[in-house]
Amino acid sequence: MLGATLARSLGLGSGKADPTECHSWCETNANAWGQKCMWDGCTSCSECSDDEAGSSGPLTSNTLQYEPALQYEPADAPRLVSGLPASLAEPVPPQRDASSSASRGRPHVLFFLADDLGWAEVGYHHAHSDTEHAPTATLNTLARSGVRLERQYMHKLCAPSRAAIQTGRAPIHVNALNAHPSSFNPDDPVGGFAGIPRNMTGLGSIMHRGGYSTHYVGKWDAGSATTDHTPRGRGYQTSLYYFSHQVDYWTFKTVTGSGDESFDLWDGDEPATELLNGPSCNDRHESPGKGQNCTYLDTLFEARVHDIVATHNQTAPLFLFWSPHLIHGPMQVPSAELRDGFSLPKASCASRWHETVLKKRAMIKHLDASLGRVVSRMQDNGMWGSTLLVFSSDNGGAARCGGNNFPLRGAKGTNWEGGVRVPALVAGGFVPEAVRGSVQSGLMAGWDWFETLAGFAQVDTLDLRAAAAGLPPVESYDMWPLISGRETQSRRAELVMATVTCPAYLHGVCEDNDPKYSAMVGGVIAPPYKLVLGESPHSTTLKATNWSVGPRLQDVQICLEPDTLGSNLWQAQPVVETCGDASDIGCLFNIYEDPGETTNLAAVMPDVFNRLNSIAISAAKTVYSPYRGPKHKLDSHFRVGNAVNLRASFVGPFIP
């Protein structure tokens, strides 16, 4: 019972309390974030059940009416299911229908989060499901048998997207800065770290509380300073993962706050020493020494996923969050998979980074095949019929790694569609037959999965621990009624994007997290329109990479310069565009008719611009932007010495 939890938070162990005290606590914490307290009528804290608590989302005065107008639909596209809200004036509050929660079942959930996978890098976004330039045979099959979520949005960068998914908050209310994992501000024990604030409840905890067996495999990138920041600290019972933005696929090393390299691979709360590859194993030498390992990182992760699926007791529901390193840089893939007979014309700008693009294709193919093997295992052991697979990318394709987001503009690191609109779908035997093979165009945010999955666990998501620390509340919507076809309109009327006030902000890293850099609103999506704001307090300029001219690998026409991160990575030359906070210098697009964001409507539709800008102004008043501190440069605090293998040191928790 939520009331009993509240009573415990007030120090009332019996669960009984003066109802005035209960209501006062709720009213105080709800009002702090503009929400409504629902505790009226309770005679004791323990009598307030999950069904009696709720919250209402922000209302807008926008009354636009519109019809969906999707562009670049493949020739073999499934039928379209309209999921757009009928009126932006009447958003549905983020609360569950208690009766439907109890009756909709508790599926096994496999959440598969790809890293940096671009819009045009899935075959089902190509005419006739092209598997030559987008080798995703598994995802193509799942798209035909599931529901494509064509209007799901994420943050433009990895770490904020992951923090949002794991907490059910928009990045402006949890983390908008792609900070180095070692960031630390000792003056702020709640938010003075990279990633998720210490006192927020994680998705793993919600699912475990609902009786799910919870497991995490792959890239974490949601904080590492304390044990509270780890997957286990967020509720995952088992985990095999790395903390950083990226690691080497063969050595499992990352760059520390001091600029040197350390291992980053953890099994639960301990460094995964037994899984390390031998010292001779690297991207140029894939053969192990005698008695040593030489395993590709995502092969290691896939093996753990198979283990979890094979040994799971099917009398309990499974929640498995699988987050491969693929296809994030560095551009590394087993050499045997690179030589599969595919050839790419050496032409135009693409010829300068021919090897990078070929590696990108091989990495996509490896990612897709890994998922296919796990799906096959779940089919073989009888789990697939009661499984809900959620697939999504964490942001758009990365320009410097050959990412292709055609026909969308921009790439990872920008708030153009190519940076924030991501390929996503649901599949599995749990998906209702009536909606299989359909396309859902209702507005969704990646952080809506928090409330949606909590609905299966039948757990209320009111985060009392976060409220007690003065942190923003959960702001996620239950989207299962829309996805399953029970509702035809999205419960989400708008989506607020985030950015950072960083002068050279393209990939999101401000040197040493200078305190003058802070989170801010980067735009608003209110279908069919999108407002884009620049990266300064008055939104004067916005950086945007060029976009691809077609969906094929050789259509990535960005002329690039060598990147300091590696010889097979390239740094995009940015295009600077003015996107101000007034209609005469602003950026407004109809993204349903103009997915490439080529026609700026701000000057000709000032009323619409001002309406969306007013939403941005209101949202700006609620931004959570703590100073997270500089990169931690004391190796003794940022490394865990390993007595088993003296050559090893690991990045990891460095604060008690």
- All structural domains of the chain with their residue ranges: 2-52, 108-195+214-253+264-647
Residue 502: both structure tokens together: 């960083």
Residue 346: both structure tokens together: 């050496």
Separation CA 437–CA 427 (nearest Å): 9
Separation CA 178–CA 10 (nearest Å): 35
**pLDDT averaged over the chain?**
78
Q: What is the 3-state secondary structure (H, E, C) of 132-148?
A: CCCCCHHHHHHHHHCEE
CA 489 → CA 45, 78, 91, 368, distances in Å? 35, 19, 10, 31
Can you tell me the mean pLDDT for 273-278? Answer: 93
264 contact partners, CB below 8 Å, separation of at least 6: 242, 243, 244, 247, 252, 253, 254, 650, 651, 652
Task: Please give the pLDDT value at position 104.
Answer: 74
Task: Please give the pLDDT value at position 607.
Answer: 98
- In tens, the pLDDT along 544-561 reads 554 555 666 655 655 444
CATH code assigned to 108-195+214-253+264-647: 3.40.720.10
- In tens, the pLDDT along 92-126 reads 334 445 444 445 789 999 999 999 999 999 999 98
Separation CA 297–CA 304 (nearest Å): 11
Is residue 54 scored above 90 in pLDDT?
no
Separation CA 429–CA 427 (nearest Å): 7
Can you tell me the mean pLDDT for 624-645? Answer: 59
Helix axes 158-167 and 448-457, enclosed angle (nearest 10): 30
- In tens, the pLDDT along 245-265 reads 999 999 999 877 666 788 999
- In tens, the pLDDT along 622-634 reads 999 998 888 765 4
Task: Please give the pLDDT value at position 58.
Answer: 29
Can you tell me the mean pLDDT for 302-306? Answer: 98
Task: Please give the pLDDT value at position 575.
Answer: 61
Is residue 352 scored above 60 in pLDDT?
no
**Single pTM value for the model:** 0.82
Strands (E), 327-367: none
Is residue 419 scored above 50 in pLDDT?
yes
Cβ atoms < 10 Å from Cβ of 429: 18
28 contact partners, CB below 8 Å, separation of at least 6: none
Q: Please, what's the b/e burial string for 1-10 (b: 16 or more CB within 10 A of its CB; e: otherwise)?
A: bbbbbbbeeb
Task: Please give the pLDDT value at position 536.
Answer: 65
Please, how many CA atoms are within 13 Å of residue 593, restricted to the half-sphere of its CB?
10
Q: 583 with 603: CB under 8 angstroms? A: yes
Is residue 316 scored above 80 in pLDDT?
yes
Task: Please give the pLDDT value at position 534.
Answer: 83
Q: 496 with 521: CB under 8 angstroms? A: yes
- In tens, the pLDDT along 495-525 reads 999 998 865 444 444 554 555 578 999 999 9
- In tens, the pLDDT along 220-238 reads 999 999 999 999 999 999 9
Task: Please give the pLDDT value at position 521.
Answer: 94
Task: Please give the pLDDT value at position 633.
Answer: 59
